[in-house]
């Protein structure tokens, strides 16, 4: 008695699935391979070619990080990987290893849907040396003040509150500053592009109002506890005197919390 072999889904079926789902799925297909496919693709290139391409990728990532701009996978493929797209995963894996072992940088994916990366310095740092804004001390100070205000206000701060605080510090968003230049552009554009801040319109507001939150880079490069310690030093108070903020600062972000092992589950 012959058995009917289960047929593979047709090309039209696969295409319809992609069209019906998230558009990102279609892009991800070319980056998803079996181990056999990956090995076969690696064999198309010589070890020397692969090493050179990994070196190019490492240099590209380091240069992009100098401006603290997030790195998109699409840009990596377009500007570096190019015709080596079939071994992208292996190139990225080797580049990540080199960045960590040689330069002390961890390549972190901060947006798994849009595939956006940043570099995090894993080397031991001194107090107050976590955030890096183009190595500009003045900008770093301004950013720390803004992050502090956002945290102390419950992790969200209205744009109006930010500007009022900066004006009290003699930094007027409506005037050009000696150190910061265009203050409003720095805060709402540069810090946002660098993923230190999120700047969004408050729903159902007319005229429109905007608010700030911590961006994914700020979450990776510093912590609420360190920001609270900064505030406590400025105001010469015990961090525990801010009960709500102190409790919040003690919580471990989900992305950093250790996952429970399967054996520990009942």
Quick one: three-class SS letters along 49-112?
HHHHHHHHHHHHHHHHHHCCCCEEHHHHHHHHHHHHHHHHHHHHHHHHHHHHHHHCEEEEEEEC
CB atoms within 10 A of CB 187: 24
Q: Is residue 129 a part of any domain in this protein?
A: no
245 plus 141 within the same structural domain: yes
Containing domain of residue 78, as a range? 21-121
Asked if residues 70 and 176 have their Cβ atoms less than 8 Å apart, the reply is no
200 plus 224 within the same structural domain: yes
CATH of the domain at 220: 1.10.10.1210
Helix 137-152 crosses helix 159-168 at what angle (to 10 degrees)?
A: 130
180 plus 109 within the same structural domain: no
Q: Which strands form 116-121's sheet, in the order they lie side by side? A: 71-72, 116-121, 105-111
38 plus 64 within the same structural domain: yes
228 plus 163 within the same structural domain: yes
Q: What are the residues facing 159 on neighbouring strands?
A: none
CA distance 107 to 95: 9
Tens-digit pLDDT profile for residues 96-110: 988 888 778 899 999
Q: Minimal CA–CA distance to 105: which of 160, 74, 63?
A: 63
Q: Is residue 176 a part of any domain in this protein?
A: yes
171 plus 96 within the same structural domain: no
Q: Is residue 173 a part of any domain in this protein?
A: yes
Tens-digit pLDDT profile for residues 63-72: 787 778 889 9
142 plus 114 within the same structural domain: no
147 plus 69 within the same structural domain: no
CATH of the domain at 49: 1.10.10.1200
117 plus 157 within the same structural domain: no
Q: Is residue 12 a part of any domain in this protein?
A: no
What does 144-185 look like in DSSP terms, one character per residue? HHHHHHHHHTTS-EEHHHHHHHHHHTT--TTSEETTTEEHHH
Q: Is residue 2 a part of any domain in this protein?
A: no
Q: Is residue 4 a part of any domain in this protein?
A: no
Count of structural domains, the chain: 2
Q: Is residue 84 a part of any domain in this protein?
A: yes
185 plus 110 within the same structural domain: no
Asked if residues 230 and 220 have their Cβ atoms less than 8 Å apart, the reply is no
116 plus 141 within the same structural domain: no
The one-digit pLDDT tens for each residue of the chain (266 residues) are 444 444 444 433 443 343 444 434 334 545 555 667 767 778 788 888 888 888 888 888 887 877 788 899 999 999 888 888 888 988 999 999 888 887 788 999 999 899 999 988 876 454 445 666 654 667 888 898 899 999 999 999 999 999 998 988 888 999 998 888 999 999 999 999 999 999 999 999 999 999 999 999 999 989 999 999 888 887 878 999 999 999 999 986 655 555 444 433 33
Q: Minimal CA–CA distance to 99: which of 71, 59, 132?
A: 59
Task: Tally helices (H) and strands (E) across the chain.
Answer: 13, 8
């Amino acid at each position: 008695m012959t058995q009917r072999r289960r047929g593979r889904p047709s090309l039209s079926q696969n295409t319809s699935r992609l069209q019906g789902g998230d558009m990102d799925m279609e892009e991800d297909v070319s980056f998803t391979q079996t181990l056999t496919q990956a090995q076969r693709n690696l064999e198309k290139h010589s070890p020397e070619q692969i090493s050179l391409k990994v070196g190019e990728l490492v240099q590209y990532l380091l240069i992009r990080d100098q401006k603290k701009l997030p790195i998109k996978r699409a840009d990596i493929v377009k500007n570096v990987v190019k015709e080596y797209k079939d071994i992208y995963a292996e190139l990225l894996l080797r580049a990540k290893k080199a960045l960590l072992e040689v330069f002390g940088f961890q390549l972190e994916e901060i947006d798994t849907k849009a595939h956006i990366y940043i570099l995090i310095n894993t080397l031991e740092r001194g107090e107050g040396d976590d955030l890096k804004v183009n190595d500009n001390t003045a900008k770093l100070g301004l950013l720390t003040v803004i992050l502090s205000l956002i945290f102390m206000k419950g992790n969200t701060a209205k744009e109006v509150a930010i500007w009022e605080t900066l004006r009290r510090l003699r930094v007027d968003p409506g005037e050009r500053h000696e150190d910061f230049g265009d203050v409003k552009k720095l805060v709402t554009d540069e810090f946002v592009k660098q993923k230190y801040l999120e700047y969004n319109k408050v729903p159902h507001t007319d005229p429109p109002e905007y608010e700030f939150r911590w961006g994914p880079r700020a979450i990776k490069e510093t912590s609420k506890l360190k920001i609270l310690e900064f505030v406590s030093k400025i105001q010469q108070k015990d961090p525990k005197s801010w009960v709500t903020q102190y409790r919040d600062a003690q919580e471990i972000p989900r992305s950093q919390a250790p996952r429970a092992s399967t054996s520990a589950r009942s």
